């Protein structure tokens, strides 16, 4: 069995990409920038022994969107690479070329938050109805349902 990674080891190895902190005993987060995220993920795969993507989670913190790429390997330590994306230009490079499973998560995030993943092979809708209004993203904190807009589903007369 491969021993878990330690905060000191990960912080030393990932130093050039940003700071590391211990979230839980088996979870370490590295804060990086949009310019470094691709290289940070490649480095985690090559150097830290991460061999798969668990998920990509997204947080709308009101000022920016935070993306967290959760990676794991035989060491059973979750390495979360965190990057903030500006609200004004919600755009970041796609990781689907490095991590093919990222493609499905990126489509979900694009649907629900409106973040564009440059280089993604097809950011078509996956969760929302095809007739969902194109510039409305229901998981953004500032999204409000418009009572005059049809969001799909079954239409009820008189309602």
The DSSP secondary-structure symbol of 128 reads S
The strand ranges marked E within the chain are 19-24, 27-32, 52-60, 64-72, 78-86, 91-93, 116-118
Residue pair 17/32 in contact by the 8 Å Cβ criterion = yes
Percent of the chain with pLDDT over 90: 83
Q: 53 in the Ramachandran plot: left (φ > 0), alpha (ψ -120 to 50) or beta?
A: beta
* pLDDT tens, residue by residue, 83-118: 999 999 999 999 999 999 999 999 999 999 999 999
- Cα gap 26→5, rounded to integer Å: 8
Task: Provide the token pair at 87.
Answer: 């609200």
**Residue 118, strand partner residues:** 93
Confidence of residue 151 (pLDDT cuts 50, 70, 90): confident
State the average pLDDT over residues 69-88. 97
Residue pair 118/60 in contact by the 8 Å Cβ criterion = no
Task: Provide the token pair at 88.
Answer: 């004004």
| CATH 3.30.460.80 describes domain 7-89 | yes
> What is the average pLDDT score of the chain?
93
The DSSP secondary-structure symbol of 116 reads E
């Amino acid at each position: 069995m491969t021993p878990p990674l330690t905060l000191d080891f990960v912080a030393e190895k990932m130093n050039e990409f940003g700071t590391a902190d211990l979230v839980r005993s088996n979870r370490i987060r590295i804060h990086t920038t949009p310019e470094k995220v691709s290289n940070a993920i490649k480095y985690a795969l090559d150097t830290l022994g991460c061999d798969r993507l668990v998920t990509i989670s997204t947080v709308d913190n009101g000022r920016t969107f935070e993306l967290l790429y959760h990676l794991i390997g035989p060491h059973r330590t979750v390495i979360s690479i965190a990057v903030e994306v500006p609200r004004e230009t919600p755009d970041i490079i796609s990781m689907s070329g490095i991590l093919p499973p990222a493609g499905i998560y990126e489509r979900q995030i694009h649907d629900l938050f409106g973040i564009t993943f440059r280089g993604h092979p097809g950011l078509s809708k996956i969760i929302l109805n095809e007739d969902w209004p194109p510039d409305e993203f229901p998981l953004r904190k500032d999204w409000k349902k418009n009572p005059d807009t049809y969001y799909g589903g079954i239409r009820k007369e008189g309602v």
